[in-house]
Chains A and B, each alone.
Chain A
Amino acid sequence: MDANASARLKRRIATVAHRVGLFLAMLVICLPGLWIVLSSLRPTVEIMAKPPVWIPQQVSFDAYVAMFSGVGKGGIPVLDYFRNSLIISVTSTVIAIAIGMAGGYAFARYRFRGKSAMFLGLMLTRTVPGIALSLPLFFVYAELDIIDTHFGLILAYVALNVPFTIWLIDGFFRQVPKDLAEAAQIDGCTRWQAFWQVEFPLAGPGIASSGIFAFLTSWNEFALASQLTRSINSKTLPVGLLDYTAEFTIDWRGMCALAVVMIVPALLLTFIVQKHLVGGLTSGAVKG
């Protein structure tokens, strides 16, 4: 076998090994999701079976039907929870993105006193575990009488997301060359127009991805929501999962069904926004 043939063979083996490795990794990542979907479709006996039953024997949509049935027939107010989740997540994401854009732009473009300290401060807030905040927050909210309101949760989630959106969007604005905004100003734009006409479209994909992150954080958040919500006024879907636990039993099938209901909108949103996450938009702006 000559050197070329053996090199070619090695490359092929490497490709195959690479794909097998990727497949195994994806399997590990996807398995919990698949297990949730499967579990939502089969009776508890099968879910709890040891050794595990991989291929469902009886498939039924009972859990889904029950979920949307009235209270007393195994139903929970899933539509209320969904509405609360949607209102809270969307509003807090929009606000966090607006603040993140303003803050990120300022950090990326301007020099001011205490800039690094402020930036570090923002990052430090991320080091505090959410659960550690829940008790102090509970007392403050109780004083302000905003427990069990949309406003209360939106406020908490905006505070949670803003440091992250600022940090992420700052990075994207840094990638947009300063020359472009200057060229736009010479071309007749005000500073404001230069931002919306040139810098914003170019940082757009980054802003969209930080939007996804902020949305998913709010959508999936449980620790704070479980403390700060009480009723269908403001309970979100993750808190709603607790409705399936009783003193002595847990309805695993129902819980999995609700989890699927939660995952679907998040997946849909990600797919929709992902289309706009075209990287490398700034290539060709400036040489280098």
Chain B
Amino acid sequence: MATVSLKKLTKRYGTMEIVHGIDLDVGDREFIALVGPSGCGKSTTLRMIAGLEEISGGTIEIGERVVNDLPPRSRNISMVFQSYALYPHMTVRENLGFSLKIAGIAKEETDRRVAEASAILGLDALLERRPSQLSGGQRQRVAMGRAIVRDPDVFLFDEPLSNLDAKLRTQMRTEIKKLHAKVKSTVIYVTHDQVEAMTLADRIVIMREGYIEQVGTPDEVFKRPATRFVAGFIGSPPMNLHEATVADGKLVFSGGGSLPLPGRFKAAVGAGDKVVFGLRPDDLYPVGHGLQSGDAADVHELELPVTVTEPLGNETLVFSEFDGRDWVSRMLNPKPLKAGDRVAMSFDLSQAHLFSAETGKSLRT
């Protein structure tokens, strides 16, 4: 059993508070991703869990044991660093077995566990090499091997894939997912890449400026973002977010353009309220080139000029102008379009989001 529980966890450097009393409970064997832009405190949080960074307030529990002041070695964790941090003066075999050697474990047992880890990660042919003789992906695997050999309660990953090229990243992502299925440990994974977080994690923690914005499953944070920030951060291409004022059953944008106020927000807002209207590119599409999710009555059509198109093969991202701003839409089963064409666009308002312009919180009731 290894749950991880953060209570009012705070980090200050001098008078600068970096992490502001966050609470988080990670279940046993759960894969949690901490995601956010750089400087949001996600790596600091991870390093506090690892014991590499002292905490300024609150408590950290691993497996229901308070570890606030324990050194890293007493926390039974292992960590994969962004830089891999392999020991360059040791072979792959020595790197893998290092933690066991330090723990004074017998040679036969060490050999057995190194062999096991190396088999899982396909490192058998590389055992006698040194890190400098390995490619980026191989180093990454050795770093993961070093982590699993310890058989820790919790795995910590600090942006492990950000140094790999795009293709290798996708491949290693799959390997990490398989690895988690095999070793069944609790994982806390830090990344700035929302796609990585979405694809890997059971639950995602979105952080911003030292606060947690939302915790939820990938589906929840995508479909029901709690704040404007989460809405803009999760999803690619990002959600269309534009400020508007509520007036008379309509949303009036700054340029004078308007859309009907989606029915389910009618109770939540009143005339004159300033809001941020959000619509995912998937819910805005040239008529007949998207998937309607809700009631047909909620689909609003407008003819708009196309500004840019980005063909991706199976779909095309179409940027069209409405109210003086670019709105991105996803055209499935694409037909050829070019800049300047006028196209009838469907706004699937049943999927629209409204956030308070003031607090940024979702107005979903």
Residues of B in contact (CB 8 Å), total: 31
Q: Is there an interface contact between B86 and A185, defined as CB atoms closer than 8 Å?
A: no
A residues 248-288 near B (Cβ < 8 Å) are 280-288
Q: Is there an interface contact between A285 and B102, defined as CB atoms closer than 8 Å?
A: no
Indicate whether A198 reaches chain B with its CB closer than 8 angstroms. yes
Pair count A-B, CB < 8 A: 90
Indicate whether A145 reaches chain B with its CB closer than 8 angstroms. no
| Chain B residue, CB-CB nearest to A286 | B83
Q: Is there an interface contact between A287 and B72, defined as CB atoms closer than 8 Å?
A: no
Indicate whether B103 reaches chain A with its CB closer than 8 angstroms. yes
Q: Considering the chains assembled together, what is the distance between the CA atoms of A201 and B90 in angstroms?
A: 10
Q: Is there an interface contact between B83 and A186, defined as CB atoms closer than 8 Å?
A: no
Indicate whether B89 reaches chain A with its CB closer than 8 angstroms. yes
Indicate whether B85 reaches chain A with its CB closer than 8 angstroms. yes
Indicate whether A187 reaches chain B with its CB closer than 8 angstroms. yes
Indicate whether A62 reaches chain B with its CB closer than 8 angstroms. no
Indicate whether B146 reaches chain A with its CB closer than 8 angstroms. yes
Q: Is there an interface contact between B85 and A179, defined as CB atoms closer than 8 Å?
A: yes
Indicate whether A108 reaches chain B with its CB closer than 8 angstroms. no
Residues on the B chain within 8 Å of A212, using CB = none
Q: Known: A202-B89, A285-B87. Contact between A185 and B131, CB under 8 A?
A: no
Give the contact-size bracket for chain A: 20 to 34
Q: Is there an interface contact between A284 and B102, defined as CB atoms closer than 8 Å?
A: no
Q: Is there an interface contact between A285 and B52, defined as CB atoms closer than 8 Å?
A: no
Which of A32-40, A84-92, A96-104, A188-196 sits within the interface? Answer: A188-196
Contact pick for A180, options B72, B87, B102, CB 8 Å: B87
Q: Known: A185-B73, A186-B72, A187-B150. Contact between A284 and B83, CB under 8 A?
A: no
Indicate whether A197 reaches chain B with its CB closer than 8 angstroms. yes
Q: Considering the chains assembled together, what is the distance between the CA atoms of A280 and B88 in angstroms?
A: 10
Q: Is there an interface contact between B84 and A286, defined as CB atoms closer than 8 Å?
A: yes
Indicate whether B163 reaches chain A with its CB closer than 8 angstroms. yes
B residues 77-121 near A (Cβ < 8 Å) are 77-79, 81, 83-89, 98-99, 102-103
What distance in Å separates the Cβ of B50 from its nearest Cβ neighbour in chain A? 6
Indicate whether B216 reaches chain A with its CB closer than 8 angstroms. no
Q: Known: A182-B52, A187-B146. Contact between A285 and B133, CB under 8 A?
A: no
Indicate whether A183 reaches chain B with its CB closer than 8 angstroms. yes
What are 17 A-B interface contacts by the 8 Å CB criterion?
Answer: A182-B81, A183-B146, A184-B87, A185-B51, A185-B71, A186-B50, A186-B73, A187-B73, A187-B99, A187-B146, A187-B150, A190-B73, A202-B88, A202-B89, A284-B139, A286-B85, A287-B83
Task: Give chain B's interface residues, CB within 8 Å of chain A.
Answer: 50-52, 71-73, 77-79, 81, 83-89, 98-99, 102-103, 130-134, 136, 139, 146, 150, 163
Task: Give chain A's interface residues, CB within 8 Å of chain B.
Answer: 177, 179-180, 182-191, 193, 197-198, 201-202, 280-288
